[in-house]
Amino acid sequence: MSHLQEHPMQGTCMEMCPESEIIMREKHGLLHPFEMVPETRHHKRPRASREWMVKEYSRPAAGKAEPSQSELRPPDVLLKTVNFLMDRVVPISSCAWKDVYDYVFDRLRAVRQDMVMQSIGGVEAIRILEVAIRFHIYAAYRLCTEPLARFDQKINNTHTQECMKRLLVLYDNNVTQQNYHGDTVCYHSNRDEFESIYVLHNIGNSEALLHALDIKNKIRCSKWLNRSLEISRAYQDGNYARFCKMVRLLPVILRCAVHRHTAEVQRRALGIMSVAYSSKTLKFPVEKLCHMLNFDTISDTTSILKQRGLWVADGNVIFQKTNYQDEQIDLLHSKSIENQLKMLNASDLLIDGLISSDAQSFEESFEKMNISSESPHSNPGTKYEQTEWWDE
């Protein structure tokens, strides 16, 4: 065992799927529809399209033989495989995207399995994990309305966290140079993005926050991480108006990372406002509330308010804490995120990450905004006409 740890096995398979697996799966009819030669898909024994064959995940089992070198793919082939999945499979629209997700999920898991078997931990491993994390974040958003029987958010989030924690360790381990302070550092071009994703995906988690605050090199002062920490602070402070306002200006991959917390933020905000603005005479504009808490439409907002026992009439809501029913809000797709995604190619987003135009638009918008630090429940006696925390 110690010998294997000191000298890990090096794969020699130069294709996305080992020859032995292609033969076995074709023989036993275990080909995925994506991997079949199109004109043979309805045959009794479809043929394998070698251009599309990708090694599937094999669950470890007691007594099962270790894979040979010819069954393991070296780092460059693993990276080629990941890029193929993002570039050729993710855009497939001829079937439900849930089926695309299941296939890519399994093949990415096999890639990570090959990485572990070979103890791969260099720049290639960093690149592979970056793409895998983006895929899981993107999938969590895209499939957020699927029932549990079809898509398990917890399993997807578990794999996101596993990839993320491994990536952050690799960032720290791959150091290559010294800065002018004499500290050895290595600035990975995408680290800012993934440190930000880690904070936003784990909003409210003290471990993620302490990790970000403990970063000592220039990443700690980077614009993306700083913005993410500001959003995290707004969440911790209960300033949900500020939280939602800053989230609206994030690049789309970061919005997808924080999206899973949206419904909970909206629920907490309505609970706070039901106490802070409890009055039979104070009327709060539903349109303002819709925009402030990132609801999609006024009709959706009105429906949610009524379901929680609040009175809505003439475009206004009357908050009363005695009538408010604190219930979970369903997590839905966001029209603004959908519009951002329509402007980008999904493959480019997953492979390249923060698109420069998207990032530049965010930076310009963020610098122009002037958000009051006042929390919506810090001064409940203030009339809504005199406050600024929901304004553009």
Residue 13: which of 54, 58, 65 has the closest Cα? 54
Asked if the structure places residue 299 within a domain, the reply is yes
**Contact predicate 76/122, CB 8 Å:** no
Specify the pLDDT at position 382. 34
Q: Domain containing 340 — which CATH number?
A: 1.25.40.990
Asked if the structure places residue 361 within a domain, the reply is yes
- How is residue 118 written in tokens? 């070979």
CA 369/CA 392 separation, integer angstroms = 7
Q: What are phi and psi of 185, to 5 degrees?
A: -140, 160
- How is residue 68 written in tokens? 């040979």
Residue 6: which of 169, 174, 119 has the closest Cα? 119
Domain range spanning residue 367?
241-386
CA 286/CA 146 separation, integer angstroms = 28
Asked if the structure places residue 294 within a domain, the reply is yes
Asked if the structure places residue 174 within a domain, the reply is no
Asked if the structure places residue 283 within a domain, the reply is yes
Q: pLDDT of the chain along its 392 residues, tens only?
A: 444 455 678 999 999 999 999 999 999 999 999 999 999 988 889 999 999 999 999 988 655 778 899 999 999 999 999 999 999 999 999 999 999 999 999 999 999 999 999 999 989 999 999 999 999 999 999 999 999 999 999 999 999 999 999 999 999 887 654 444 455 555 578 999 999 999 999 999 999 989 998 887 677 778 889 999 999 999 999 999 999 999 999 999 999 999 999 999 999 999 999 999 999 999 999 999 999 999 999 999 999 999 999 999 999 999 999 999 999 999 999 999 999 999 999 999 999 987 544 555 555 555 555 443 333 333 333 333 333 333 33
CA 108/CA 3 separation, integer angstroms = 28
**Contact predicate 295/241, CB 8 Å:** no
Specify the pLDDT at position 355. 54
Asked if the structure places residue 52 within a domain, the reply is no
How many domains does one find in the chain?
1
- Cite the beta strand spans of the chain per DSSP E: 177-178, 184-185, 284-285, 311-313, 316-318
Asked if the structure places residue 319 within a domain, the reply is yes
Q: How far is residue 163 from each of residues 149, 170, 241, measured CA to CA in Å?
A: 24, 11, 31
Residue 324: which of 391, 251, 240, 267 has the closest Cα? 267
* 58-92 residues labelled b (16+ CB within 10 A) or e (exposed): eeeeeeeeebeeebbbbbebbbebbbebbeebbee
Residue with tokens 């398990």: 152
Burial (0-12, 13-18, 19+ Cβ within 10 Å), 310: buried
**Contact predicate 355/349, CB 8 Å:** yes
**Contact predicate 114/124, CB 8 Å:** no
Asked if the structure places residue 68 within a domain, the reply is no
